């Protein structure tokens, strides 16, 4: 019996028809009983379609050769996000009254089985109760330079598309076009892109007017301020009398031939005579 089953599988593999199998089988039986009178394929409840009956004139009893196995192919599983658990087809054997194991419905089941049609969620998919849905994860951007702001996000959600995470991982980089799916930054307020980094802006602070008569600046009437991340430095200053020279504040002193009287620079009067 095992020999016949293997013969049938071999003929199928070689692309030969089941009719050829029966021709070969008839030759084997003929060698056993040369006076075979008929070959009958029964398709009724007494003999399943897989049974071949050889009736001999030399015997009142038929010789029954059976092909007792067949392949059951599972109905299709959902195309997206699933994998077979464990087989997409399995071998059934005739037990005298039915095929065993029985036909099965393709269904989600996490318990592996080689004799039923089961599937489970593929890698990076999760069972929702009805279908396998794509997993999600949070991609966190690498650090940006200190003098910058995100444009627009420092992290974003990725979804599995069946072969990769989407949107893809991204490199943190300068870009003035806002995007919620990539790691972009731009310069913070009062910083300007130099081509390589965001550098602090500068501005000129102009001192308010000093007294017009008898004074001179000590040392500047304006100075450059640079943004330090929270304020302009050096700070704004009030124009005032101070004999210590400073290039970063608004100071004046008395001009030649003038002297400070405590509130103003007055002309020095020289005695004549």
* pLDDT score recorded for residue 270: 85
Q: Write a three-state SS string for the chain.
A: CHHHHHHHHHHHHCCCCHHHHHHHHHHHHHHHCCCEEEEEECCCCCCCCCEEEEEECCCCCCEEEECCEEEEECCCCCCCCEEECECCEEEEEECCCCEECCCCCCEECCCCECCCCEEEECCCEEECCCCEEECEEEEECCCCCCCEEECECCEEEEEECCCCEECCCCCCEECCCCECCCCEEEECCCEEECCCCEEECEEEEECCCCCCCCEEECECCEEEEEECCCCEECCCCCCEECCCCECCCCEEEECCCEEECCCCEEECCCCCC
Gap between the Cα atoms of 134 and 80, Å rounded: 9
* pLDDT score recorded for residue 35: 43
Q: What is the pLDDT along the chain (273 residues), one digit of tens a residue?
A: 455 555 555 545 554 444 444 545 555 545 555 444 444 444 344 444 444 444 555 555 555 555 699 999 999 999 999 999 999 999 999 999 999 999 999 999 999 999 999 999 999 999 999 999 999 999 999 999 999 999 999 999 999 999 999 999 999 999 999 999 999 999 999 999 999 999 999 999 999 999 999 999 999 999 999 999 999 999 999 999 999 999 999 999 999 999 999 999 999 998 776
Gap between the Cα atoms of 69 and 4, Å rounded: 11
Enumerate long-range contacts of 200-207, CB under 8 Å, 24 or more apart.
200/147, 200/226, 200/227, 200/228, 200/229, 201/226, 201/227, 202/226, 202/227, 203/232, 205/232, 205/236, 205/237, 207/237, 207/239, 207/250
């Amino acid at each position: 019996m095992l020999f016949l089953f293997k013969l049938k599988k071999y003929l199928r593999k070689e692309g030969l028809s089941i009719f050829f199998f029966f021709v070969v089988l008839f030759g084997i039986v003929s060698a056993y009983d040369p006076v075979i009178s008929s070959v009958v394929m029964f398709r009724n409840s007494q003999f399943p379609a897989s049974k071949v009956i050889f009736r001999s004139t030399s015997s009142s009893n038929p010789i029954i050769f059976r092909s007792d196995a067949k392949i059951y192919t599972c109905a299709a599983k959902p195309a997206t996000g699933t994998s077979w658990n464990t087989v997409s087809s399995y071998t059934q054997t005739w037990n005298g009254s039915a095929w065993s194991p029985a036909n099965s419905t393709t269904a989600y089941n996490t318990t592996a089985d080689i004799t039923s049609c089961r599937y489970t969620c593929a890698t990076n998919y999760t069972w929702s109760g009805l279908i396998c849905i794509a997993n999600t994860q949070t991609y966190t951007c690498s650090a940006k330079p200190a003098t910058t702001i995100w444009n627009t996000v420092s992290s974003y959600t990725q979804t599995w598309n069946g072969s990769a995470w989407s949107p893809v991982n991204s490199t943190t980089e300068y870009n003035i076009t806002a995007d919620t799916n990539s790691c972009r930054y731009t310069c913070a307020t009062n910083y300007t892109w130099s081509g390589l980094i965001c550098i602090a802006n500068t501005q000129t602070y102009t001192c308010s007017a000093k007294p017009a008569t008898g004074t001179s600046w000590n040392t500047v009437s304006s100075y450059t301020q640079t943004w330090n991340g929270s304020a302009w430095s050096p700070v704004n200053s009030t124009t005032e009398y101070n004999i210590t020279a400073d290039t970063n504040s608004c100071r004046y002193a008395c001009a030649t031939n003038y002297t400070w009287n405590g509130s103003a620079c007055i002309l020095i009067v020289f005695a004549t005579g």
